[in-house]
Amino acid sequence: MGKALIIGCGGVASVAIHKCCQNSAVFEEIMIASRTKSKCDQLKNELEGKTKTIIHTAQVDADNVAELVALINEFKPEVVLNLALPYQDLTIMDACLETKTHYIDTANYEPLDTAKFEYKWQWAYQERFKEAGITALLGSGFDPGVTGVFSAYAMKHHFDEINEIDILDCNGGDHGYPFATNFNPEINIREVSANGSYWEDGKWIETEPMEIKREYDFKGVGKKDMYLLHHEELESLALNIKGIHRIRFFMTFGQSYLTHLKCLENVGMTSIEPIEFEGKQIVPLQFLKAVLPDPASLGPRTVGKTNIGCIFKGKKDGKDKTYYLYNICDHQECYKEVGSQAISYTTGVPAMIGAMLVMNGTWRGEGVFNIEQFDPDPFMDALNQWGLPWEEDFDPTLVD
């Protein structure tokens, strides 16, 4: 069918690339381009001979629009799948605009110097993408991503209006380290050390970090403590889902993770304010990232399952209704299939699916779209086909 340029070659990209290579009918040719070309070459060597997809590699600085434009003009992909870091979203969108190429990502833009999770910078590209006649698909990971598709599916098939959504993200995996993060530590720690917030009756209610705690019994995992966090899809779902009064996001954390995090925070290691160290400016959180285990190295040691999904409360034919849609994913199964743990897997698979649906024209529009704005059915089918089957429960335990 066509060509995709994949930017970044970390944990999530590695899974998405494995999945593109399993789907050679759509991804006939891919270019893996990242800051460190040797990682791209290593992955290419691993996959070549096992796939019909033709793989190219390149070095690129995705902060540099001119370099990106030159690469896109040379390779001429139908889509660019951005799996670098949220800091690169806008430069990559700029390059897509200049070359009129469709854009897909998994995380909203964040400025380097403030941990802000908002769509406003990317939504500001709406008119320019419309004028260029190209699609930007924002947030095609799991959360954001599958959680938005689940919401659109629930709305389409099960409700006349959805009044409440609770997104529950449970990682029941154990990697055996006292402290490590399952995806990029800098992005992960920025997210969990920020204030929490949820959307209720048209406004944001802000909480202290980890202020709201609940226990939930997750199918496939068991009972876990979970904490309310701000999460980027709350902002778009609050706009796009009809009848919504409240939307919250909870993530599970073990006590050891929280104790380590508190200690690191207390000594200033999670700060994103640059400090002077031996005559050089360093950002403490970036230094911490350098000493923590690389998330890519967790694959072989992580056992257990994830369970991520959404509980919906609303109305159908005038009656109250509840509905829970979720996916259970096994860390070791993922490792056997693609050499990664389930957090990278549950993000990389939807990234490939989003790129596929834009590439084959199933999902197309002119402008900037959050994932729940497209027809969820083809994505839901693809989740079952490509390794993230979903389950449903019509009588779930609710979160108070």
Contact residues for ligand NDP (CB under 6 A)? Answer: 8-13, 34-36, 39, 60-63, 83-86, 88, 106-107, 141-145, 183-184, 187, 295, 347
Pick between residue 73 and residue 259 the one whose CB is nearest to ligand NDP: 73
- Cβ closer to ligand NDP: 60 or 165? 60
Residue 58 or 258 with smaller CB distance to ligand NDP: 58
Please identify which residue in the block is written with the tokens 């070309």: 37
CB of 128 to ligand NDP, least distance (A): 22
Beta bridge partners of 363: none
How far apart, in whole angstroms, are the C-alpha atoms of residue 57 and residue 317? 54
In angstroms, what is the C-alpha Rg of the chain?
20
Q: Report the 10 Å Cβ neighbour count for 13.
A: 26
Residue number of the CB atom closest to ligand NDP:
10
Neighbour tally for 285: CB within 10 Å: 21
Q: Residues 75-112, buried b or exposed e (16+ Cβ, 10 A)?
A: bebbbbbbbbbbbbbbbbbbbbbebebbbbbbbbbbee
CB of 107 or CB of 154, closer to ligand NDP: 107
Write down the number of H helices and E strands in the chain. Answer: 14, 18
CA 335/CA 11 separation, integer angstroms: 12
d(CA 68, CA 93): 10
Using the minimum distance from each CB to ligand NDP, give the nearer residue, 16 or 162: 16
User: What CA–CA distance (Å, rounded) separates 112 from 279?
Assistant: 21
Q: Helix, strand, or coil here: 380?
A: helix
Quote the least distance from Cβ 261 to ligand NDP, whole Å.
18
Least distance in Å: CB of 369 to ligand NDP? 15
Q: Rank residues 166 and 321 by Cβ distance to ligand NDP and give the closer one.
A: 166
At closest approach, how far in Å is the CB of 12 from ligand NDP?
Answer: 3
Smallest gap from residue 391 Cβ to ligand NDP (A): 19
Cβ 106 to ligand NDP shortest distance, Å:
4
